[in-house]
Amino acid sequence: MTAADTIYWTATTCPLFMHACREICKQVGQKLEQRSQLSSPLQRHHQGIEEMAQRERERVL
């Protein structure tokens, strides 16, 4: 039985292990999402300017 077989057997027979894997995947996904949002302050800045311009246009109309 190889290590991969052991991991597969554990993953398919142990609900607690499956739950832990799901939680870890969820947390890693959230961290990656946060990092991608933080990595573009310029994009956020541009979006803020666009929103201000849109509000100004609506106010004028």
pLDDT of residue 4: 79
What is the pLDDT averaged over residues 5-17? 74
pLDDT of residue 21: 74
Cβ atoms 17, 11 nearer than 8 A: yes
pLDDT at 7 over 60: yes
Other CB atoms within a 10 A radius of the CB of residue 18 amount to 13
pLDDT tens, residue by residue, 12-50: 777 777 778 788 878 888 887 777 666 566 666 767 778
pTM for the full model?
Answer: 0.36
